Amino acid sequence: MPSDLASGYEPRHVPVDGVADAVLAAPPRLGAVRLVAVDGPSGSGKSTFARELTATLRDRGVRTELISTDDFATWDDPVSWWPRLAEVLDRIAAGLPGRYRAWDWSTGRPRPGAEVRVAVPEVLVVEGVSAGRASVRPRLSRLCWVEVPCPEERLRRAVARDGEASRPMLEAWQRFERGWFAVDQTKRHADDVILPADV
């Protein structure tokens, strides 16, 4: 089934080593830090890819930090939390460690959790829906779009990950993100359009 988020080109399998090479070849734009966004629709494997990229860079001896937008977003607030993350980015751009309070999802519903401290890295990876939004693109060294093309398959994967009770929220989230991406045009601006390895 064709992608419902088409931008003129479709996802392909991209080796994580190649993305790591491209990240390190790109200029830093967040102060002295290379900022990488891993964006795309829910259920596409963004978190897995971001963890693999982070591990690959660390294995090369590159100081790399990873932030997930799951620490900021909720079902009721998919994207307007951005100023909280922007404060972290501003501090890191200034050469200062960042910190924020993450949501604790252990009960299935968000509640205030632990404070997360983010050391100043060489590469900062931010993954999640809206991580590559227009307002942050001038500060990005790389924008990766991860997408399973079929929306029904994405929903199946997301429900398998989060549980059947989350299906109504995930369906609503899919409707929201479809509109968000249509306006933000994230995929059109991506440097890499990636099909997860398990698809």
Q: What digits encode the pLDDT tens for the residues 66-94?
A: 999 999 999 999 999 999 999 999 999 99
* Percent of the chain whose pLDDT exceeds 90: 86
| pTM of the shown model | 0.93
Distance separating the N- and C-terminal Cα atoms of the chain: 13
Q: How far from the centroid of its chain's Cα atoms is residue 159's Cα?
A: 19
Closest CA to 67 of 143, 123, 105: 123
Q: Is the pLDDT of residue 2 over 60?
A: no
Domains recognised in the chain with CATH numbers: 16-194 (3.40.50.300)
The pLDDT assigned to 5 comes to 64
Sign of the CA dihedral 79, 80, 86, 88?
Answer: negative
The pLDDT assigned to 6 comes to 53
Helices 151-162/167-184 angle, 10° precision: 130
